[in-house]
Structure formats: structure tokens, C-alpha cells
Amino acid sequence: MSLLFEPYRIGSMEIRNRFMRSATTSYWSDERGIVRPEIIELYRGLAEGGVGLIVKGHQYVMDSGKAHRGMAGISHDYHVPQLLELTDAVHEHGGKIVTQLNHAGYNSIVDRAGPSEYRAETWEARALTANEVHEIVTRFGDASDRAMEAGFDGVQIHGAHGYIVSQFLSKHANHRTDEYGGNLENRMRLLNEVYDEVRARVGDRVPVMLKINCDDFSPDGFTVDESARVAEAICKRGLDSVEISGGGLGKQEPLRRRAMSDDPALGEANFAGHAATIRGATRPTPMALVNGIRSLSCMEVIVEKDLADLISMSRPFIREPDLVKRLESGQESAHCISCDLCGSGDVFSKMMLRCHVA
């Protein structure tokens, strides 16, 4: 039988198969960041559908780190009761769920502030003071405490997609001259401090995970070699699992091609080439790969060739929450066509997440 459907262990957590639902915001929490009943039902459906590990959509660790309307919060104790209902719904169906902790930095809708002053085409952001950086680190810790109260099986630090951790990592976005900027060691200081704080709060009882960019796809940003060095260092520090993603501030679409693999069997896995570069640096820490993976044959190649341990997907589970059961019973591929209507401006934060093609 395929390894994909066999149980797998991440640190102290056993999951029922190698499928991971990558963090996906449903952009439908209420104005205070409290998850609505429809969101709880979405997670119940995913667990019923057989996915091994669910990563909840990102949650802001402090109000100033909110990325968009409808984003869920974990910044206050009043966020906890509904999150507990959500994790209960997943556990009732044999699933495991970790939450994704985030701070939007420059991408905040409350206070645009990040490593340095930053000027984009349509907005400007200010630089955080060192004291503000320290406060953000503490808030990641407070949010981890709440995640434990809310029954999550672990936490994932959002270190990708142009939010605060990836802003600090990127020399495109980070021009600080203090201990948080300059060389890579300094640029990864925020990540190290967040990791240490989260670990100090949750101990070894649950896994601490990271989603990281393999590349920002910016001409002057975070590169795959830097990603491998950061991933290696944080895995040595004790991280339980790393998920390989990509894209951040300064992204140029054509540069995405450099992350692809030459192997046609891995053609749909958009970051497979870069994942191979990073893989050696992170062993034996479990690695998940996300972006574009749709067919069972590609998933099989990924685990058989030992490119990654876990198959992570987002959009396919919006269309088919029971995708894992379908693949197990013979469906050859996810039906998702990657049209991106699920996250388009027409629907984002205006209605509950759903597939608009199915």
C-alpha cells in the first residue's frame, strides 16, 4: 500500500496519513476575529474527509498584525471558546489540527510597520522599533498559550508569503542596521526569537512547525540558498517540521520558474526544484511541500523519491474536503483547476470561503 495513506509521526504527534491541509484563511471570522459557525463546520468537514493534519488559516497574534478583514484572531482570551469548538470538531473525527500564528507586518490593515521603512506602489510603511519587535515576539508566545487552551495539537509559525517573519528574512524588505538586519544571521534573529518563545511556552508536548519561503521570487530578496541555511539552523534548534512554500514582497511572477524541477514527473509541484535543494539541509526533520500538487502520481513520486514526507495542499481541499478518501478509493487527481476564484477580490472577506467552480 502507498506510503501516503500510512500513519506518520511529527515529533510527539501521530497523524493518520501523509496529507496536510495547508493553512487557508476562510476570511469569514467576525469583526473581533472570532471564528463563525460556518468555519467550524468547514473544519469538521475536512476532518471527516480524512486529511491527516490540518493547519488552520492564519491567526493574528496581536491586533496590529491583522492582515485582512475576516482574519481570525488569537490575540485575546475571548478568541479561545470558539477555537475550542473548532478543535473539538476535528478531534471528534480523528483529525489533528495545528494553528498558524502570524503577524502581517507591512501587510497589516491596522498599522503598516515592518523591519524598515518600505515604499510600495500604493502604500508606505514605517519601521518597527526594537521594543516593538520584542513585544511581537512575546505576543507569539501568548498566542501559543491560547492555542494550547483552545486544544490545538501544535502550532505553525507563518514564516512565508511576505508577512513579518519573511519580511525580516528578506534583504529586499529588511534594511535595518541593528541586530535584526544586515547579514542572514541577524535577519533570522526574529524567527529564532519567535521559535524560542513559542517553544518555551508549549514545551515538548506538541510540535512547533514553520512554513517558510524557498524563495521570495524577488530579484533582490530571500534566495533558495538562504532558505536552506535558515531551515537547517531552525531545524537544528529543535523545530519539528518545515513546510516549503514561496513568494513574498518584491515578487516577480516569471522568477517563479527557478523553483521548478527538471523532472517531468514533478512538473505540477511548483517548488519541487528548490525543495530538493533544501531537503538535504533539514534532514531528518519532516518536510512538507505545497503549491500546485494535484495528482496522486506526483504525490507518490514526492514521497517515493523522498523529496518530502508530507503532501500539503490548500485549494484542492476547498473544492473537495473529502479529497483524501477520494484518492484512497481510486480518484487519480484533485479536481481543483487552480483558477484562484476562491481567493479573488470579488469574494475575499465578503462571503465564506468556497469553491466557485464546483
Ligand X SMILES: Cc1cc2nc3c(=O)[nH]c(=O)nc-3n(C[C@H](O)[C@H](O)[C@H](O)COP(=O)(O)O)c2cc1C
Catalytic residue numbers read 163
Choice between 23 and 299, CB closer to ligand X: 23
Identify residue 44 by its one-letter amino acid code: R
Q: How many CB atoms lie within 10 A of CB 220?
A: 11
CB of 313 vs ligand X, minimal distance in Å:
4
Positions 289 through 318 that interact with ligand X (CB under 6 A): 290-292, 313-316
- Our CB check for ligand X shows the closer of 105 and 316 to be 316
227 scored as a contact of ligand X (CB under 6 A): no
Using the rule CB under 6 A, which residue among 17, 167, 245, 261 binds ligand X?
A: 245
Question: Cβ neighbours of residue 69 under 8 Å, at least 6 residues apart?
Answer: 27, 109, 349
d(CA 358, CA 353): 13
Q: Which is nearer to ligand X, 146 or 161 (CB)?
A: 161
Taking the complex as a whole, the smallest distance from the CB of residue 211 to ligand X amounts, in Å, to 5
Q: What is the DSSP letter of 173?
A: T
The Cα 304–Cα 306 span in angstroms is 5
What CA–CA distance (Å, rounded) separates 184 from 83?
36
Please select the residue that binds ligand X; options are 158, 201, 251, 319, rule is CB under 6 A: 158
User: Closer to ligand X at the Cβ: 250 or 292?
Assistant: 292
Residues 97, 10 contacting (CB under 8 angstroms): no
Verify binding: residue 274, ligand X, rule CB under 6 A: no
Q: If binding is defined by CB under 6 A, does position 211 make contact with ligand X?
A: yes
Q: Are 298 and 266 in contact (CB under 8 A)?
A: yes
Alpha helices in the chain (DSSP H): 37-48, 80-92, 130-149, 164-169, 184-187, 189-202, 224-237, 272-282, 296-304, 315-319, 323-328
DSSP state of 310: E
Is 82 one of the binding residues for ligand X (CB under 6 A)? no
Binder to ligand X among 23, 61, 155, 323 (CB under 6 A)? 23
Angle at 208 between CA 21 and CA 271, to 5 degrees: 50
Binding of residue 321 to ligand X (CB under 6 A): no
Partnered with residue 245 across adjacent β-strands are 213
Rounded least distance, CB 315 to ligand X, Å:
3
Compute the least distance from the CB of residue 246 to ligand X, in Å. 8
Q: Which CB atom, from 100 or from 218, has the smaller least distance to ligand X?
A: 100
Task: Report the nearest approach of ligand X to the CB of residue 128 (Å).
Answer: 21
Does the protein bind ligand X through residue 57 (CB under 6 A)?
yes
Binding status of residue 342 toward ligand X by CB under 6 A: yes
- Name the minimum Å distance from CB 86 to ligand X: 14
Contact between 162 and ligand X per CB under 6 A: no
Using an 8 Å Cβ cutoff, are 57 and 64 in contact?
A: no
The DSSP letter of residue 128 is P
Distance in Å, CB of 98 to ligand X, minimum: 12
Stretch that binds ligand X, among 91-99, 156-164, 187-195, 218-226 (CB under 6 A): 156-164
How close are the terminal C-alpha atoms of the chain, in Å?
Answer: 30
Contact call for residue 213 and ligand X (CB under 6 A): no
Question: How many chain residues are in contact with ligand X, going by CB under 6 A?
Answer: 22
Under the binding rule (CB under 6 A), the answer on residue 286 touching ligand X is no
Q: Does 319 bind ligand X (CB under 6 A)?
A: no
58 binds ligand X (CB under 6 A): yes
Buried b / exposed e across 62-97, counting CB within 10 Å, b at 16+?
Answer: bebbbbeebbbbbbeeebbebbebbbebbeeeebbb
Task: Write out the residues near ligand X by the rule CB under 6 A.
Answer: 22-25, 57-58, 100, 158, 160-161, 211, 245, 290-292, 313-316, 342-343, 353
